[in-house]
Structure 1
Amino acid sequence: MRQQQIPAPILFHPLKHHLGYIRLFLQESELLSELELKIALRTIGGSQLDLYTGPLSSQQLSLEVIAYLQQGGLLHPDAFRNYLAPSGYGLCSLSDGSGWTLRWGLHEGRHVHLHPARYSRHTQRVKANHLKTAIAAAIATTRFQRSMDLPLLNQVRDRWLALPPVEGYTAEEGLGKVLALLL
């Protein structure tokens, strides 16, 4: 799967938090087996999340955060940990006006865990299961050469996501709004 490399020390999950990356993922999803697709979608989790919809790529976001931390002398792990100490997180704004939450990353060499800030510019709050369903359904329309409908949605929820069926959705809320972002 072609993707932009996220520079260290940033830890960022673009399939969960970056609309541009998700759209690229959809375009290249034919390269994934059904098992690989299930594994990728499982990483999105099951709670609410913030989805960045702005113009900056994952790599650009990361580079701007690195520059922000360098300016403040906060890039080294010890300095970054001390910066986070009072509340467990930090906030920064980037060139497009979006806000980002910085937390401690638990992966070796990736100590800056980056999340879109809740309710910030270019960010939408979505349910993880709606995002997973929308991604799976968008992929299924191409794979199975079908148009989007409720039976297809419920087929991917069952087969790929192990989620119960939905009775319906509207374009104005929840799942329908996330589908509109992707299709």
Structure 2
Amino acid sequence: MKEINCSIQLPLTLNCWKHHAGFIKKQIEIYRHEKISVEELQKMLLVIGESQMDLYVGELYPQKICDEIVSKLKSTGKLAFEAYKKWLFEKGHEYKLVEISDNSVWALRLGKQEERYVHIHPGRYSPVTLRVKALTLKAAIAVLIINYEKKSLLMDTSQINEVRKKILNSPPVKKVSSNSAVVRVINILS
């Protein structure tokens, strides 16, 4: 089933389109089997935003990550809103870092929604993550959804540029090589 975001328990929020490669891979497979218009694809990619992000590439599902974080917050008495907020802002900071079972580190912030006050995302340069620009991630997703053949894609700058122009309204790149960021992300999401 196509999902706008991954389903996780309260009080957590996690944008899986920005931060979880496994979720993205699953969604790409779903979108590949359906006809999707350029407009639908553009709208779907909006949730990724425009900045850099850390993409979790590990084996844990979003629910497992959230279970571990909730367990840590519960065991330290930090799951209730007031206790969580006080803990977050102590020492003048606005976030905390929590390590989970696969050694990945997750940043916890105050969420914008009242019922989802624990906003999580991978910590910057955490183990089992890849730092990626939004445009790179969007291009990789778009290329894979519109089902270009991976073998021909690896060195085909014209295919990448077609996606950048037609779907992302972005300028072309001069050359795409096998070690370029977009190809690395395509390989991770394939």
Structure 1: segments with no counterpart, 5+ residues: none
Name which of 55, 59, 62 aligns with 1:55.
Answer: 59
CA RMSD of aligned residues (A): 2.0
TM-score, normalized by length of structure 2? Answer: 0.88
Match for residue 14 of structure 1? 16
How many aligned positions are there? 182
Q: What SS does structure 1 have at the residue aligned with 2:130? A: strand
Q: Does 1:108 align with 2:114?
A: yes
- For 1:159 and 1:130, the matched residues in 2 are separated by 15
Kindly tell me: are residues 145 and 134 of structure 1, through their superposed partners in 2, closer, same or farther at Cα, counting changes over 3 Å?
closer
- For 1:177 and 1:17, the matched residues in 2 are separated by 16
Q: What SS does structure 2 have at the residue aligned with 1:43? A: helix
User: Once superposed, which parts of structure 1, at least 4 consecutive aligned residues long, lie more than 6 Å away?
Assistant: none
Measured after TM superposition, the shift of residue 46 of structure 1 is 1.6
- For 2:35 and 2:106, the matched residues in 1 are separated by 30
TM-score, normalized by length of structure 1? Answer: 0.91
Q: Does 1:25 align with 2:31?
A: no
- Identity among equivalent positions (%) equals 37
- For 2:157 and 2:137, the matched residues in 1 are separated by 16
Name which of 18, 37, 41 aligns with 2:41.
Answer: 37
- For 1:36 and 1:95, the matched residues in 2 are separated by 37
- For 2:167 and 2:151, the matched residues in 1 are separated by 16
Measured after TM superposition, the shift of residue 36 of structure 1 is 2.7
1:99-152 CA-to-partner distances (Å, cap 9, x unmatched) read 00000110231101101011111011111110100010111225x999423222
Name which of 69, 72, 75 aligns with 1:71.
Answer: 75
Match for residue 173 of structure 1? 180
Further displaced range: 23-32 or 11-20: 23-32
Q: What SS does structure 2 have at the residue aligned with 1:49? A: strand
Kindly tell me: are residues 32 and 59 of structure 1, through their superposed partners in 2, closer, same or farther at Cα, counting changes over 3 Å?
farther
Name which of 154, 157, 162 aligns with 1:155.
Answer: 162
Measured after TM superposition, the shift of residue 18 of structure 1 is 0.5
Name which of 123, 127, 133 aligns with 1:127.
Answer: 133
Match for residue 117 of structure 1? 123
Q: What SS does structure 1 have at the residue aligned with 2:168? A: coil
